[in-house]
Amino acid sequence: MQRLTLFFFLLLSTFIHAQQAGDLFKSMPSDLLPGVSEGNKTMLLVDKGKTTVPFPLGEIEKVVHSDDYLLIRTSDVGTLQLKLLPVNSDSVIACLIRTVCENVCDSHISFYTSDWKKLDRESFLPDVSTDFFLNSSSKKPGNDKYAVSLPDICPISASFSETGTDLTLVFHYRERLTEEQIQDLKPLLKGDSLTLTWNNASFK
């Protein structure tokens, strides 16, 4: 039922048809990439190699450019990823990942139509939390080690590869914990990273 509802919604909405990541990047609203002019966007996309243009806070660099994926370095600590995800044979939606890696990496993931209308993230991606990386036995109420070992933030970064639609999540707990806390946490962890697969409707 959920899958039928999703595809019915796709039929009624304006999605990207035969459009590439570069085309969508040019029309990106300014609040999603503050300070980058239309001219700078065009200069960044002049070819598919690495390109650097002036930026109010220094420089902005296009690191990866393919038909369905862009990786933009917005600062020494910030990146923006734009990935086109297929939902049927001729339509895709846009996934935008903004990541800041200062003291610890943290990513914000959002989804959009071709005219940059924001979509409900929960329709495409489960709630990203530290629970993803923990064994189910560690999530029992009253587990003191679990409560003590984890910080009050969710230091998880997300990234795509240049090819493919898998989403890789990395848990950056080491930067936030003492060595003693890390040792306490290790038995509870399934791993430091995991991969979610896109099934043309959502990530699983």
Closest to 26 measured CA to CA, from 16, 18, 14, 36: 36
DSSP 8-state assignment for residue 188: G
Average pLDDT over residues 155-181: 91
Domain segments of the chain as ranges:
2-196
Tens digits of per-residue pLDDT, 80-127?
A: 999 999 998 778 999 999 999 988 899 999 999 989 999 999 999 988
Neighbours of 23 (CB within 10 A): 14
Residue 14 pLDDT exceeds 70: no
Tens digits of per-residue pLDDT, 47-84?
A: 888 999 987 778 899 999 999 999 999 999 999 999 99
Please report the beta strands in 28-173, taking only residues with DSSP state E, as ranges in sequence order.
51-55, 58-65, 69-73, 78-86, 92-101, 105-112, 118-119, 156-160, 167-171
Measured CA to CA, the distance from residue 111 to residue 124 in angstroms comes to 8
Measured CA to CA, the distance from residue 40 to residue 26 in angstroms comes to 9
